[in-house]
Amino acid sequence: MNQLFDKKYPVTSSLLLLTTGVFLSMLLVRGFNYESVQTVYDFGGVLGAEIQVDPSQSWRLLAAMFVHIGLQHFVLNMVTLYFLGRIAEDLFGSKAFLVLYILSGLMGNLFVMTFSPEVVAAGASTALFGIFGAIASLRFIARSPYIQYLSQSYTSLILVNILFSFMPGISLAGHLGGLVGGGILAFVFPVYGERDSVKKTWRLGALLLYIAGATLLYAWALMS
């Protein structure tokens, strides 16, 4: 991390700076209460029960991926984003990586809203698990032996992280949702140099599957 903004990885750098800015704002505004549940909620944490009562709070489904609960949570996710983001930005390109990150985080937070509505949740891990899922899906898509090997190695890493997701204080729903979202979206955004590796009908089908899944989850949560 020898420079603040790496022009080779503009999206990864921007996400790191934005998320760090939010964390520092929490610290400056709330002091030692920066990691309290109330602070996390006030800065954009997801509380599904609140969104169910007041859908205008749905902005939290996007904002929550930039909010963290304590220093350890923040540092772990930012280190992961630094390394994983650069790999993904190389594989998918900057624009596609940004869309993958945001939509994976959104799907993860929709899972949180639907399956654990009473818990205030936040963190970049919903989006990061989506990137893990997207890279893991490449073993079924990519033609490059290197990318297939990389994808296979990430599959093992995902299994380990899912096991850790059962620990107290970690949102299993958010992680699984991000993983599902990213896994589907990998079929929509082929890697560089392999634009024809996925048929247009498959790409359209995957996009429609994501949209339908997100819409159904949101509607189901509001009707609960």
Active site residue 68: no
Residue 188, token pair as written in the block:
């929509």
Scanning the structure block, which residue is given the tokens 């490449």? 138
**Count, residues in the chain:** 224
| Residue of 73, 137, 151, 175 marked active site | 175
Q: Comparing C-alpha atoms, which of 113, 85, 100 is closest to residue 218?
A: 113
Alpha carbon of 141 to those of 31, 54, 177, 198: distances in Å? Answer: 47, 40, 21, 7
CA 213/CA 134 separation, integer angstroms: 17
Catalytic residue check, 73 = no
Single out the residue of 194, 185, 52, 188 nearest to residue 127, CA to CA: 185
Instruction: Exactly one of 58, 116, 125, 171 is catalytic; name it.
Output: 125
**Six-digit token string for 55:** 């859908």
Q: Does residue 91 contact residue 60 with C-beta atoms inside 8 Å? A: no
Contact 187, 198 (CB under 8 A): yes
Catalytic residues: 125, 175
